[in-house]
Structure 1
Amino acid sequence: MKKIFCFMLSALIIVFSAGGCLAAERIALMLEGADPVAMPNSFNGICCSGLEMARERYGRKIQTEVYNAYGDAALLEPLLREASSESDLVIITSSLYVPALRAVKDEFPDCTYVVFDSRGMEGVTNIVFREEEGGFLAGVLAAMMTGEKDMARINGDFVIGIILGEDVPPARRFKLGYRAGSWYTSPGVEVLCEYTGSFTDASKVAAAARKLSRGGADVIFCAAGPASLSAIKDAVSGGWWCIGVDSELETEFPDAVLASVVKRSGHVVARVIENYMDGKLPKDSFSIGLAEGCMDISTWTRESKMNVPVEIRDKIDEIAEKIKNGLIVINEKSYGGVSAS
């Protein structure tokens, strides 16, 4: 009887041991550009914060790795291939990886891919941020603030600007929304635009801001990634106001930034991992924006309230609700027929 009991006990120990040694899910986060450690408030830094939230929640159930091409296009495909060979789930946060993904994904049929800013790619989960909604609110804010003649650095020319980095779909959507929001609020306001070709070259963004200022722009939406900080740092001496992007930059630069278009990429990364771990990650395309709590403009911060009049903040809140409820639809045929080109 003792031998039988000991055998059963040993079997139970083996079963529990096997259950406790299930392999961790291997998750890769693909970044492009800014160093998330050096720039924690950048888009990449916020994505990494979502990965950290998942680590805290799942502990040893997941193993994570971060890959970053740091602006080197030649590294995009090799990095993605390496991540795919060593991961169960690959989260791609930059559309610059999309050509590489098309070339690589069929080699790794057991790997699950989630890609930001891609539409219609079969066999992967495509997530598109509706940047045009955040851009629209930024355009509303800029068009209303450029009419505040009693405010420092507002010159009365009714000209606003936008600085973008590389010519990629998210940048085009920001531009489309910004121009549409400006026209919706004040059709007579002129909108100037500059592409720098880089999300990391601060000198190009600073030069673009100076050029926009010479053209009369007194409010500039700085949507060129982490390089935008150069335009923000020059704002007071240069004579313009900025609208930030990705995180609430007015809390760091209250004399330069009116508010920021907040793109909650960290929240999205954490939710993607949660859905994957629960077996609920869809393999299709969907978009996220204001209604899903993944995009907003930070007129709620103390610093923004100091610089943006309450009637303008209330108007932005009203318009944001209309966007959420589908009463304002932003495309190239609406609000003056503005184009993202």
Structure 2
Amino acid sequence: MFRLLPALLALLLAGPASAQTPPAPRFVPAIVFDIGGKLDKGFNEAGLQGAERYKRATGTAYREVELTLESDRQAVLRQLVEDGATLIVSMGFAQVEAVTAAAKAFPNIRFAIIDGVVEAPNVRSFQFKEQEGSFLAGVLAAMSSRTGKIGFIGGVDIPIIRTFACGYAQGARHAVPAIGLLQAMAGTTPAAWLDPARGIELANRQMDDGADVIFAAAGATGFGVLQATAGRHHLAIGVDSNQNHLHPGTILTSMVKRVDVAVHQALRSAADGTWAAGTTVLGLKEGGVGVVIDEYNRALITPPLEAAMKEATDEIVAGRLEVVDYRKTGRCPVE
């Protein structure tokens, strides 16, 4: 008669290893912030807020990279895959080319692109109806102007920035048909996103020409616009994130893109099994864009302004008022 050792007996009772339930695959998310950094007080930072909200809710940490060079985009994605990331969220339309290449090279890895479109079976894309939020900004700007002239300053002269400008112009003329419109772009290269001095220069030029409300959709260059208008006691409109607090009392509102919502959706869906490739478009109806009223600008938004904003919002959401998307037409109906 022989006796089995306890450890051997337990192993035999457990059965073959192949019959045991395999461990669930690890979910390892990562996020790539575009040039400007995660604390840019704008687009990237909104994405950070969404990632942090997911982290707080689930306890799941994420890896992050802040790009400093355009040439690093593809290499960063490849390195994250090699380091074990299973979902990579890339911030900004400038990363479309890199995500396209990475998705093809790593078909078993999931990717998400925020503010751009990549058509691939392992990519989820998020876009926004910037024209709808900008329309509301235009309504508020035109109704707040005392000079009868308002301005727009964009960063790089590309279709998405012209979409902001065109939506803003449509809203302004909807509210005040005779309002004067000025428009300028900071440049044609990525440096145009990162030049506050250029923003100050362009804002002063528009104010000299009579504009007393200026909407800046120009990245860090826009901070110069906000500073210049505050210095001359005029009004500015922030973009992407809520920037009302930067110059309280002189920022009329901020046209926010709920980048945080997109990032949170990308992370949550990949983790809970509801993730699907394709394009998600977020507008006013989906809560993806809008303008902000808070303690920093409450005194500037009078009851007539708020009523006009609400009316326009209701009309757009109901489909009774269509705001032209410059990206689809290549032209703006308002000159």
| TM-score, length of structure 2 as denominator length | 0.86
Match of 1:186 among 176, 188, 195: 176
Paired residues of 1:117 and 1:169 also in contact (CA < 8 A): no
Seen in structure 2, the aligned counterparts of structure 1 residues 330 and 253 have a Cα distance that, compared at 3 Å, is same
Seen in structure 2, the aligned counterparts of structure 1 residues 105 and 332 have a Cα distance that, compared at 3 Å, is closer
Match of 1:150?
none
SS in 2 for 1:66: strand
Paired residues of 2:163 and 2:325 also in contact (CA < 8 A): no
Amino acid at match of 1:100: A
Paired residues of 1:24 and 1:63 also in contact (CA < 8 A): no
Match of 1:34?
36
Match of 2:124?
125
Task: Report how far residue 9 of structure 1 moved.
Answer: 8.2
Paired residues of 1:173 and 1:340 also in contact (CA < 8 A): no
Inter-partner Cα distance in structure 2 for 1:292 and 1:51:
19
SS in 2 for 1:258: strand
Match of 1:101?
99
Match of 2:205 among 197, 206, 211: 211
Percent of pairs with identical residues: 24
- Deviation string 1:37-75 (CA, Å, 9 cap, x unpaired) is 4x4x3221121121122222332xx452222223x3222
Match of 2:26?
24
SS in 2 for 1:302: coil
Seen in structure 2, the aligned counterparts of structure 1 residues 236 and 64 have a Cα distance that, compared at 3 Å, is closer
5+ residue gaps, structure 2: none
Amino acid at match of 1:141: L
Amino acid at match of 2:94: L
Inter-partner Cα distance in structure 2 for 1:295 and 1:245:
10
Paired residues of 1:33 and 1:199 also in contact (CA < 8 A): no
2:100 counterpart of 1:82: no
- Deviation string 1:218-238 (CA, Å, 9 cap, x unpaired) is 100111123322221222323
Mapping for residues 51-70 of structure 1, pairs under 5 Å? 51-59=51-59, 62-70=60-68
| TM-score, length of structure 1 as denominator length | 0.84
2:318 counterpart of 1:325: yes
Match of 1:45?
45
Inter-partner Cα distance in structure 2 for 1:121 and 1:104:
12
CA RMSD, aligned part only?
A: 3.0
Which has the higher mean CA deviation after the structures are superposed, 289-298 or 225-234?
Answer: 225-234
Paired residues of 2:114 and 2:259 also in contact (CA < 8 A): no
Inter-partner Cα distance in structure 1 for 2:31 and 2:279:
19
Task: Report how far residue 250 of structure 1 moved.
Answer: 2.1
Amino acid at match of 2:149: V
Seen in structure 2, the aligned counterparts of structure 1 residues 220 and 31 have a Cα distance that, compared at 3 Å, is same
Match of 1:302?
295
Amino acid at match of 1:78: A
Task: Report how far residue 161 of structure 1 moved.
Answer: 0.7
- Deviation string 1:272-295 (CA, Å, 9 cap, x unpaired) is 111111111121122102111121
Seen in structure 2, the aligned counterparts of structure 1 residues 10 and 129 have a Cα distance that, compared at 3 Å, is farther
Seen in structure 2, the aligned counterparts of structure 1 residues 109 and 302 have a Cα distance that, compared at 3 Å, is same
Paired residues of 2:153 and 2:185 also in contact (CA < 8 A): yes
Inter-partner Cα distance in structure 1 for 2:257 and 2:278:
21
SS in 2 for 1:136: helix
Task: Report how far residue 128 of structure 1 moved.
Answer: 0.7
Task: Report how far residue 187 of structure 1 moved.
Answer: 2.2
Amino acid at match of 1:47: G
Q: Deviating runs (4+, > 6 A) in structure 1? A: 9-12, 18-21
